[in-house]
């Protein structure tokens, strides 16, 4: 249980109730030599992050081994989770909740999902959001299926700079359908190459990730203008939802559907899950949207209430009318994301996103100054690609022995990028950490 101190107003109100003027009068029954006469000698106030680091530093002086310094991103990001979110999610009212199957589910759960949908729609700049999907990969696959239903076409184009695991899930979804999945290459600047779009007709959708797998920010407005066919939808996906606290939202850049991973919004990494698939679209496509949607209404007495407005699985409607078999994400994850967004607010999310950008940019410039190559010139958010010498694998393994994971090797996913690593920096790293990393990889 966290200590929540009383405000001066709280104290004044309580003193008034008991009939005394101040705290000294309240405690006058105690002998003077038993009462403290001066203020507590407390250190300067710390932020929650600084206090966590301070406590971990004290723990590291004991027998507990030090934690790893992790510079991995690629769809799973190390962020501080506000204590308010962790505490509220542990409450019994929420922690046992799963998926809202029944329309008569409790008002509390329905309102929580409604609030999540509202915040998601605002973050992504879209008109409507569903109650979430399993994870970012399934969200993208469902978005591409949704686009084929809307456009009534059997070809889709997917950027090669979408997370490799997401692309594999899309291909798995589409393999038994007979629909064609076309992969768009990338440019030397680290953006999706759109030059082949002019020769591709009858596309249901073009899927772009921004920031993409290399951390580079795509020019979504230009991509939208490049798609000449009005029936071809632009689907924007993401692995780092926090980026839209700083970048223009997908909706403002012309996206028909925006979807991706919401793990950054208050969910711990937890060895890969459970995570959160965020999904939003234009209102005119809502009846093709997978999953569930909670709406606001009024009861017979005119009081505000919440209902399960849209449920498109075959358990709810005729099988031939079902848009998907996908299940809503565990509502606890969506609730955690809603708590995170509500706790930080628009200003806080923007400041946090700026901090992530600035710290990653600091490390990038330090790497360049140390003589390492950053191959992609396009602006990045909180991760970027670095090229290292051919013998860097020995250094990488040595750093792991020192509990430092210096990025993600890219040759597994992109063979042409041997000796290139994807580095990620979030607000959890301080300048000392980053300077130390540069010194270690340079030695």
pLDDT tens digits, 87-103: 998 887 777 655 555 55
Look at residue 229 and give its three-state secondary structure.
coil
Helix (H) or strand (E) holding 311: strand 304-311
In angstroms, the CA 384 to CA 151 distance is 35
> What are the CA-CA distances from residue 359 to residues 169, 317, 350 (Å)?
32, 49, 14
Residue 2's pLDDT is: 54
Q: Is the peptide bond before 211 cis (omega within 30 degrees of 0)?
A: yes
> What are the CA-CA distances from residue 94 to residues 97, 98, 264, 265 (Å)?
6, 9, 20, 17
Domains of the chain are 50-81+345-442 (3.90.1150.10), 83-342 (3.40.640.10)
In angstroms, the CA 358 to CA 290 distance is 37
In the structure, what pLDDT confidence band is assigned to residue 228 with cuts at 50, 70 and 90?
Answer: confident
C-beta separation of 406 from 399 below 8 A: yes
Give the residue among 257, 202, 249, 263 at the shortest CA–CA distance from 221.
Answer: 249
Residue 297's pLDDT is: 93
User: Percent of the chain scored above 70 by pLDDT?
Assistant: 92
Residue 1's pLDDT is: 43
To 5 degrees, how large is the angle CA 80–CA 86–CA 88?
145
- Measure CA 242 to chain center: 5
pLDDT tens digits, 117-127: 999 999 999 99
In angstroms, the CA 141 to CA 63 distance is 46
Please say if the pLDDT value at position 319 is more than 60. no
Give the residue among 294, 311, 342, 358 at the shortest CA–CA distance from 123.
Answer: 342
Higher pLDDT, 312 or 40: 40
Rounded (10°) angle between helices 107-124 and 331-369: 30
Q: What are phi and psi of 254, to 5 degrees?
A: 100, 10
pLDDT tens digits, 230-270: 899 999 999 999 999 999 999 999 999 999 999 999 999 98
Name the residue with tokens 């009534």.
152
Please say if the pLDDT value at position 32 is more than 80. yes
Residue 240's pLDDT is: 97
- Measure CA 442 to chain center: 32
Please say if the pLDDT value at position 196 is more than 50. yes
Average pLDDT over residues 383-403: 94
C-beta separation of 202 from 155 below 8 A: yes
In angstroms, the CA 40 to CA 224 distance is 60
Tokens of 140: 């993208």
In the structure, what pLDDT confidence band is assigned to residue 60 with cuts at 50, 70 and 90?
Answer: confident
C-beta separation of 264 from 240 below 8 A: yes
Please say if the pLDDT value at position 314 is more than 70. no
R_g of the chain computed on alpha carbons: 25
Would you tell me how many other CB atoms lie within 10 Å of the CB of residue 198? 9
Please say if the pLDDT value at position 142 is more than 60. yes
Residue 311's pLDDT is: 78
The least confident of 63-67, 157-161, 296-300, 409-413 is 63-67
Name the residue with tokens 């591409």.
144
Residue 310's pLDDT is: 85
In the structure, what pLDDT confidence band is assigned to residue 281 with cuts at 50, 70 and 90?
Answer: very high
Q: What are phi and psi of 280, to 5 degrees?
A: -145, 155
Residue 223's pLDDT is: 94
> What are the CA-CA distances from residue 370 to residues 267, 374, 402, 409, 425 (Å)?
34, 11, 21, 20, 18
Query: For the stretch 16-55, what's the b/e string if a residue is b when 16 or more beta carbons lie within 10 angstroms of its beta carbon?
Result: eeeeeeeeeeeeeeeeeeeeeeeeeeeeeeeeeeeeeeee
- H-type alpha helices, 61-182: 83-89, 92-95, 107-124, 136-151, 164-174
Residue 329's pLDDT is: 63
Residue 327's pLDDT is: 64
Please say if the pLDDT value at position 229 is more than 80. yes
Residue 254's pLDDT is: 95
Would you tell me how many other CB atoms lie within 10 Å of the CB of residue 91? 8
Residue 73's pLDDT is: 95
Burial class (CB in 10 A: 0-12, 13-18, 19+), 188: exposed
**For the whole model, what pTM was predicted?**
0.84
Give the residue among 268, 200, 269 at the shortest CA–CA distance from 229.
Answer: 200
Please say if the pLDDT value at position 205 is more than 90. yes
User: Percent of the chain scored above 90 by pLDDT?
Assistant: 70
């Amino acid at each position: 249980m966290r200590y929540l101190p009383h405000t001066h107003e709280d104290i004044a109100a309580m003193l008034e109730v008991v009939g005394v003027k101040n705290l000294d009068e309240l405690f006058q029954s105690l002998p003077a030599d038993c009462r403290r006469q001066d203020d507590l000698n407390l250190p300067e106030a710390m932020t929650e992050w600084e206090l966590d680091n301070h406590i971990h530093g004290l723990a590291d002086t004991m027998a507990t081994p030090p934690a790893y310094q992790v510079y991995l991103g690629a769809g799973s990001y190390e962020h501080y989770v506000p204590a308010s979110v962790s505490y509220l999610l542990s409450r019994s009212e929420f922690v046992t909740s799963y998926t809202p199957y029944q329309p008569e589910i409790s008002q509390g759960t329905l309102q929580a999902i409604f609030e999540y949908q509202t915040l998601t729609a605002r973050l992504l700049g879209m008109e409507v959001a569903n109650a979430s999907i399993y994870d970012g990969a399934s969200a993208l696959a469902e978005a591409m299926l949704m686009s084929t239903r809307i456009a009534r076409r059997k070809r889709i184009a997917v950027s090669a700079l979408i997370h490799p695991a997401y692309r594999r899930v899309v291909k798995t979804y589409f393999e038994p359908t007979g629909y064609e999945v076309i992969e768009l290459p990338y440019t030397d600047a680290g953006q999706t190459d759109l030059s082949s779009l002019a020769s591709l007709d009858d596309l249901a959708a073009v899927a772009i990730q921004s920031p993409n797998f290399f951390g580079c920010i795509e020019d979504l407005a230009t991509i939208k203008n490049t798609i000449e066919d009005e029936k071809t939808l632009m689907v924007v996906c993401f692995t780092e939802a926090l980026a839209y606290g700083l970048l223009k939202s997908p909706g403002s850049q012309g996206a028909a559907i925006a979807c991706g991973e919401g793990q950054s919004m208050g969910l711990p990494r937890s060895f890969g899950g459970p995570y959160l698939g965020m999904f939003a679209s234009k209102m005119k496509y809502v009846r093709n949207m997978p999953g569930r949607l909670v709406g606001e209404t009024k009861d017979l007495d005119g009081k505000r209430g919440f209902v399960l407005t849209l449920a498109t699985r075959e358990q709810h409607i005729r099988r031939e009318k079902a848009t998907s078999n996908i299940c809503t994400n565990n509502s606890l994850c969506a609730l955690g994301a809603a708590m995170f967004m509500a706790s930080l607010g628009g200003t806080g999310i923007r400041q946090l996103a700026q901090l992530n950008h600035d710290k990653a940019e600091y490390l990038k410039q330090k790497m360049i100054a140390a003589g390492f190559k950053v191959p992609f010139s396009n602006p990045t958010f909180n991760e970027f690609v670095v090229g290292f010498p051919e013998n860097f694998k020995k250094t990488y393994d040595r750093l792991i022995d020192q509990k430092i994971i210096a990025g993600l090797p890219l040759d597994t996913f992109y063979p042409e990028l041997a000796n290139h690593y994807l580095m990620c920096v979030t607000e959890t790293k301080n300048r000392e950490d980053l300077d130390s990393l540069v010194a270690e990889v340079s030695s």
